[in-house]
Amino acid sequence: MANTATIIACIVVALYLVSPCQARPLPQPPAPSPNQGIVDGITAIFNFGDSISDTGNFIREGAVGMMRHTGVLPYGSAIADGATGRCSDGYLMIDNLAKDLGLPLLKPYLDKGADFTHGVNFAVTGSTALTTAALARRGITVPHTNSSLDVQLKWFKDFMAATTKSPQEIRDKLGSSLVLMGEIGGNDYNYAFVTNKPAAAAEGSIYNAIRTTVGAVEAMALVPEVVQSVLDAARELLEMGATRMVIPGNFPVGCVPSYLSAVDEKDPAAYDGNGCLIGLNFFAQMHNVALQRGIRELRGAYPDATISYADYFSAYVRLLRDAGRMGFDSAAATKACCGVGRGAYNVDMDRMCGAPGTTVCARPNEYVSWDGVHLTQHAYKVLSDLLYHGGLASPAPVNFTETRQ
């Protein structure tokens, strides 16, 4: 197994590998059109989360730092309308779910001119499960946004106060809605490691070893608090009347190109059969196990609600395992589409996607990873199908008429 230092180094760079690339636009397939009719009585979606499901809130906040280019091409190059603030070449899982439900694509809350009849997206790229104040008390800096889960929940309450006249009306609206709680929480851990990242000038020193150890301890210590924050928000929404809720787990970050590139572990024993780092995936599963325990408690407290655990971890692993059969290039399953064009993972920490010399692959649909962290439109579609039609969101939050394998 990879040693602690290499695993930690892998996590440290996570947030440094999300800068968008500046390359030629890719072919634009037509935008999905909603189906007709209502599926399983769901008339609206309310979504909370981070860059995995943000459809434009971050760029409307006035995107800053390394994520500031997510509102320009080639991000969104597979969307007819171009870049929208989605961290991918095209559509996300939340878009595919809305389409399958026969609903319009979910608009970001900060798009004040949008039609929110069928729901609102509160997710913000770079957001955290814990408040920025709570992280600051630990000495952890949040560099991209202050719109943590508590802020998103306040937005939801403000929206409901402005569009309903009573708590009962809120309950009625939630009774025909699907609520998605994330994915959120991964950035909390990433920021803990970034705050304590080694100093380049002192690389290999005892000082750096201490900082690395502090980062590891901080991230491990955050797991119970991060999970509890997600569960507390879920409980509050259930109290307000939510009857169908999806709470996703974390991805297997040991399979993500940016992490794999950073570790560059030479020992074959450090990897599983899919080429993923075993140690780092174990860390992700720590979060997932704690989250599932809390979800079971919520189900006991709210027996009339359907509270589904979306197994992002297993869905991603299955995608990698069956990459060739699902239309991906198996040889590029852990390689970024947008990057420096060399190396096993097409990721270079010193020349991030968008820097001079970076390029976009010719066929993004054959890649799982778009930019080394976020996924391609094709990958998000496959994951959405596995979750909502293939049984990896359990119990099923929506009764679709067919099951896709």
- Angle (CA) 210-272-276 rounded to 5° is 60
Clarify whether 51 is annotated catalytic.
yes
Token pair in block for residue 277: 């780092």
Three-state DSSP class for residue 342: coil
d(CA 319, CA 316): 5
CA 196 to chain centroid: 23
Catalytic residue among 69, 374, 378, 389: 374
d(CA 262, CA 280): 12
Residue bearing tokens 């297993």: 314
d(CA 267, CA 278): 12
Cα distances (angstroms) measured from residue 37 to each of 41, 101, 231? 9, 8, 32
- Angle (CA) 399-286-195 rounded to 5° is 115
Catalytic residue among 51, 127, 177, 261: 51
What does residue 247 show for φ and ψ, rounded to 5 degrees?
Answer: -120, 105
Residue 135: which H helix or E strand, with range?
helix 132-137
Token pair in block for residue 231: 């569960």
Catalytic residue among 118, 371, 384, 385: 371
> Are 165 and 233 a contacting pair, CB within 8 Å?
no
Clarify whether 89 is annotated catalytic.
no
Instruction: Return the closest-CA partner of residue 302 out of 182, 195, 174, 204.
Output: 174
Query: With b meaning 16 or more CB within 10 Å and e meaning fewer, what string describes 27-59?
Result: eeeeebeeeeeebeebbbbbbbbbbbbbbbbbb
Clarify whether 374 is annotated catalytic.
yes
Token pair in block for residue 152: 């998103």
Going by C-beta distance under 8 Å and a sequence separation of 6 or more, which residues neighbour residue 79?
A: 28, 31, 86, 90, 91
Catalytic residue annotation: 51, 371, 374
